[in-house]
Structure 1
């Protein structure tokens, strides 16, 4: 088969093809490079793939292909791309390999790629796959293989941690399973959490699981956090190593589990009034009444409510519609849009009318 010929300046490709050509004294010389024959992806022996949410490390799919031909003896890079459409409008790279013509992807890898490609969990949808070859560290001279497709049934992988208040400065007191208020996760940084609200005289700690005392977070100094993961000693309390809050009032607490730091500062809530009522309304839920926390009327909750894929807003009795564009957590504003719900489950929903922060905690994922 006749191959197309392309010419490239050595300045452009010398870094990619140094292994293919001898260095030239005159960098303006032209090299002749063969437009490659694309890799050929072998057919699959199945049409439907249901992904197991339990044994996620098990192999899900093995792909085999014939080498691309660049007309030179060189090591070829291969990227495995998935897409929700045959045109690969927004492809997702599931894995890469060099010098090999086969790869096995785990259930977790395929599930993550399907989700990143835009497929919803718990629905049968086609997923498209191809191999893209290239050369060098800059992945030059790409060439895409033929496309295969199969139907996939992804599961949902909830990757976030959730945290709760406990202590005599908080609503549940020292009860680890007493409708403990949730911390509000940053939508852009899953390690960072906030809680702005009323704290009474006393102390508090952070728990990861309601009903369990460990893992338990506190502090043994004035700025860094310490943890008992379950086999150590319990740390001191917030806000400052067993130094209690002496003046009840509104405070802003933030904690970063990546940097192991926290901050606790007074918060001015003057002039901020709570709505008379608050409901969850939208395609995810018809009309769910939220309850104000008796300890702090700015904190609202709805426990164990069923939400289906769609969206919703927090609607006040005065007709304000608070929402945002981020699922699971974020900052809602009046007229900010509808909050997406991407997977059906029973949820605990928390909302803070001082800051607009919200968090949706699935109970079964």
Structure 2
């Protein structure tokens, strides 16, 4: 009996190995025939004006026939937009799997045509196709036919702008007095900077103070030190609070104990700030500064009387093109980042992507600039 049991065990092991080897056999492969591309149906209209107010409304519904690959499979479909029929530079508006139709909202179409390179506030043609593929690696891509329509996009200014107010900064406690803006980080829309003169000549506890407003002329929303007023000792770092951002009452004040140049950084995502001294020794301002470029006739920038390192020009009409800051000595300060960034001498031209009236600000201590549209 012992021999029989041993033989049975060996036999069983062999059968198990045979099964596993059969499972590992890769001789049978998933094969597809020549794919048949999806066919994208023409739209029953040729022009589409996008409404910048009702952005969640449906804009277009796209329908197409199913692609075939000769095997039952779940097929991916990417809806692509381009500003040329060759799809030299295209963007994917949406992707679906196992479906042959999709509906895009006004905001989704506006984003897609903007990413495809169409300009806002003008009628321009956009080209649309559907690309089918298989699997998570999007293999065996096959493109549909191309359809087109004329689109009138709006411009969606997605940034927040913030302004200084307080007795330690230029406007005093006046919420509509050409209040200097904070300069937004070009790579992180939650981070803002201001480097400049803050005053507290008396050393008084309630002097050298400031807060941050979101809209000139309005006291709320406002941002400040998370500690309540009276407990808001001047500090080089701390937490940020806002009314109504974090609470119903007004926050405390940022502040400095002595007059000098400081760098203020605020991160609205982390709700944190730093306020540290800045060495401005030897940093001289140009005698004059001019906003120049294809977007405007030359505009003379004004120095803030409170702090000559801060320059501004209000309500400047800019058209699509580019601008830079030209000094009297011939230095040409710019960058390739629209709306905000850090300009350097010879750093390129600042793109103006949409026509509007702008408040333009420049800091010659840091090269920070910001172009704030007034009507978007």
TM-score by length of 1: 0.90
C-alpha separation in 2, matches of 1:254 and 1:27: 60
Match of 1:265 among 276, 294, 299: 276
- Per the alignment, in what secondary structure is the counterpart of residue 85 of structure 2? coil
Deviations along 1:217-246, one digit per CA (max 9) or x if unpaired, are 1122542211112770111111xxxxx411
Runs of 5+ in structure 1 lacking a partner? 1-22, 239-243
**Equivalent position of 2:250 in the other structure:** 234
Judged with a 3 Å threshold, the aligned counterparts in structure 2 of structure 1 residues 191 and 28 are, in CA distance, closer, same or farther, namely farther
- Offset at 1:29? 4.7
Q: Which runs of 4+ in 1 moved over 4 A?
A: none
**Residue 42 of structure 2 corresponds to residue 46 of structure 1:** no
- Offset at 1:64? 0.5
Contact kept? 2:31, 2:71, Cα under 8 Å: no
Deviations along 1:276-322, one digit per CA (max 9) or x if unpaired, are 11111111111111110111000001111111111111111222211
- Offset at 1:214? 1.0
**Residue 373 of structure 2 corresponds to residue 358 of structure 1:** no
**Residue 220 of structure 2 corresponds to residue 214 of structure 1:** yes
Q: Relative to structure 2, which stretch is displaced further, 228-237 or 210-219?
A: 228-237
C-alpha separation in 2, matches of 1:302 and 1:56: 32
**Equivalent position of 2:88 in the other structure:** 89
**Equivalent position of 2:5 in the other structure:** none
Deviations along 1:242-268, one digit per CA (max 9) or x if unpaired, are xx4111000001111111111111000
**Residue 335 of structure 2 corresponds to residue 320 of structure 1:** no
**Residue 123 of structure 2 corresponds to residue 124 of structure 1:** yes
- Offset at 1:32? 2.0
**1:106-121 superposed matches below 5 A:** 106-121=105-120
Judged with a 3 Å threshold, the aligned counterparts in structure 2 of structure 1 residues 190 and 101 are, in CA distance, closer, same or farther, namely same
Deviations along 1:162-204, one digit per CA (max 9) or x if unpaired, are 0011111100111111111000011111111110000011111
- Per the alignment, in what secondary structure is the counterpart of residue 286 of structure 1? coil
Judged with a 3 Å threshold, the aligned counterparts in structure 2 of structure 1 residues 28 and 190 are, in CA distance, closer, same or farther, namely farther
Runs of 5+ in structure 2 lacking a partner? 1-21, 201-207, 228-236
Deviations along 1:106-153, one digit per CA (max 9) or x if unpaired, are 111111111101111112211010111112222222211111011111
- Offset at 1:28? 5.8
**Equivalent position of 1:204 in the other structure:** 210
C-alpha separation in 1, matches of 2:156 and 2:170: 31
- Per the alignment, in what secondary structure is the counterpart of residue 115 of structure 1? helix
**Equivalent position of 2:71 in the other structure:** 72
**1:18-37 superposed matches below 5 A:** 24-27=23-26, 29-37=28-36
C-alpha separation in 2, matches of 1:299 and 1:167: 17
C-alpha separation in 1, matches of 2:238 and 2:139: 49
| Larger Rg, first or second structure (1 or 2) | 2
**1:96-111 superposed matches below 5 A:** 96-111=95-110
**Equivalent position of 1:142 in the other structure:** 141
C-alpha separation in 2, matches of 1:108 and 1:148: 20
C-alpha separation in 1, matches of 2:35 and 2:274: 57
Judged with a 3 Å threshold, the aligned counterparts in structure 2 of structure 1 residues 24 and 89 are, in CA distance, closer, same or farther, namely farther
C-alpha separation in 1, matches of 2:30 and 2:127: 36
Q: Relative to structure 2, which stretch is displaced further, 160-169 or 214-223?
A: 214-223
**1:249-264 superposed matches below 5 A:** 249-264=260-275
Aligned length: 338
C-alpha separation in 1, matches of 2:29 and 2:100: 31
**Equivalent position of 1:280 in the other structure:** 291
